[in-house]
Structures are given as C-alpha cells and as structure tokens.
Amino acid sequence: MLPVAVDAMGGDRAPGDILAGAHAAAEQGIPVVLVGPEGLDGCGDLPLIHASEVIAMDDDPAQGVR
C-alpha cells in the first residue's frame, strides 16, 4: 500500500490534531508520511519529509509552485 502524505502544518489546529490523526491512522495499519518543518515535535516513529517553504492562505497557489 502506498503511504499517505500528510501536511503536518495544514489546519487550524495544527500540528497537534494533525499529528494525532496521523498516529491514529498508522495504528490502523495505514502507512503515513508527514511533511513539515525539520525537527517537528510529536512525530514519534512516523517518517518526516522536511518542507522548508510555506504557501500562506493568502498566497496565489499558482505562484507558490513556480
């Protein structure tokens, strides 16, 4: 099964609720990979892909990927 990539900082109550959900999914056997800032607390044994850039809520999404 392919892992689900989860934006650890994506949400109003991030990262706490996001990490809790990711851990709950992993406990059910769903492979999860977190994406977020290096050194994020609470990842436990879930792998973390470092994301150094952020697209803010008011940014143009098309500009963010260029």
Cα dist from 55 to 49, 59, 65, whole Å = 16, 6, 9
Residue 64 has pLDDT above 80, yes or no: no
Question: Which residue ranges make up each domain of the chain?
Answer: 4-51
Q: If you average pLDDT over residues 11-30, what whole number do you get?
A: 97
pLDDT of 57 strictly over 90: no
CB contact set of 34 (below 8 Å; sequence gap of 6+): 5, 6, 8, 19, 22, 40, 43, 46, 47, 48, 49
What value does the mean pLDDT of the chain take? Answer: 93
User: How confident is the model at residue 20, as a pLDDT?
Assistant: 98
Q: Which amino acid, one-letter code, is at 17?
A: D
Residue 48 has pLDDT above 80, yes or no: yes
So what's the pLDDT on residue 62?
84
**Is the pLDDT at 66 greater than 80, yes or no?**
no
